[in-house]
A and B are shown apart, each in its own frame.
Chain A
């Protein structure tokens, strides 16, 4: 007889791990199916300076700590990839999650699969990934010692990539399609005050040049429509992320940007004493009862480690309370 979990968490970023801390402390039998490449976006960063309680620590170090914390109260962590989910069980009421080796059965599920790097989508880019095109400056910056690189993007991630690269590269250009950065003030100032970084505004990369390694880029200024070529040895892409929801196509309702939709079910509506609706008992429910969502997979707006952790906490508490309310269902 296969063991049955109260909660199965898919993912291994700060949302997933925080959810596990709460569900296990609520004595729910919890498994975290974290993926072979676990840890999420913070594994590809260096210093994290905006996670409360830590003035500065390395992203991978923070994820190591969160993983330890998530298993401290009995959570089982498995570095396995979920390949398929059954959220519509015909016999009984258990959800099932298929990995390479086996099927996990659970009474409730928390989807916290996060988001994946968004690439430019150029064929030249795909051909040259690992040959000068990268999305991880902390991993790859040392290969660009005394070389010329260009970073594309305008958010905190792009600022971080550019700053990391200045420690190795002889020149760093930062190209952005608008005339302002959306990055936080601290990160923005770090870039603008760094004499090694040259910012190119209102411009996109139209093509990456080079046969078997990057030799340059073709840039297009969006205001003047002028194109120009610039010789570089490396291209670092940091234009954002897309929710990692492939697993949930046709299983959970997604919004028009592809994020898991938070669906408030009427039956859990909360009313005041005169019967007016004043909210919902749950804030992380999806289109399937018993499946909850947390973190970047369901959050287009904030996308921070700490908001993901907060939402993970909510999902953990929602799952516990839903299991309590529906006792006997499974």
Chain B
């Protein structure tokens, strides 16, 4: 599968220290819009592979990272480059909104 999982433990290594930009999807199983966003992110992950990595972070099992970035609503998708946040998308508004975010770095 193309979609990668990141945890509180692996966040620094996989996201902050990543050589390429990373889009992190903060989600949970009980959030219906998050489930709808899933296939769209999978598609983007395929489409932009080698340019942007896309990771999923379950807020249930990994409360710390969301707390650090002030995530209080899901889905929230944050774009990181060189360890810094470049932008975020709150809620699921279709593929276009994610692409707009991704276009900030490619």
Contact = CB atoms under 8 A, between A and B. Distances in A.
Given A136-B73, A140-B72, A37 B31 contact: no
Contact of A37 (B36, B59, B76): B36
B65 to A, nearest CB: 13
Contact of A213 (B70, B91, B92): B70
Interface in B25-81: 28, 30-37, 39-40, 59-60, 66, 70-74, 76
Interface string A135-156: 0101110111000000000000
Interface string A27-44: 000000001111100011
A44 B33 contact: yes
Nearest to A61: B32
A121 to B, nearest CB: 17
Contact of A139 (B32, B60, B95, B96): B32
A328 interface: no
Contacts of A100: 95-96
B33 A139 contact: yes
B87 interface: no
Contacts of B93: 37
Interface residues of B, number: 28
Contact of A44 (B32, B70, B94): B32
Contacts of B36: 36-39, 43, 79
B72 A130 contact: yes
Contact of B72 (A35, A37, A44, A132): A132
A36 B91 CA distance: 12
Contacts of A39: 32, 36
A37 B92 contact: yes
Contacts of B72: 130-132, 134, 140, 143-144, 213, 234
A212 B70 contact: yes
B88 interface: yes
Contact of B90 (A81, A130, A142, A213): A130
A35 B94 contact: yes
Contacts of A35: 94
B56 to A, nearest CB: 16
A130 B96 contact: no
B90 A60 contact: no
A60 B32 contact: yes
Contacts of B40: 36
Nearest to A139: B31
Contacts of A213: 70, 72
A290 interface: no
A13 interface: no
Nearest to B92: A37
Interface string B87-106: 01011111110000000000
B8 to A, nearest CB: 16
A257 to B, nearest CB: 24
Interface string A273-290: 000000000000000000
A139 B76 CA distance: 11
A144 B67 CA distance: 11
B23 to A, nearest CB: 16
A134 B73 CA distance: 7
The 6 closest A-B pairs by CB, nearest first: A130-B90, A36-B94, A60-B32, A130-B73, A43-B32, A143-B72
15 contacts: A36-B40, A36-B95, A37-B36, A37-B92, A37-B93, A38-B36, A39-B36, A81-B96, A130-B73, A134-B72, A139-B32, A140-B72, A140-B73, A143-B66, A144-B72
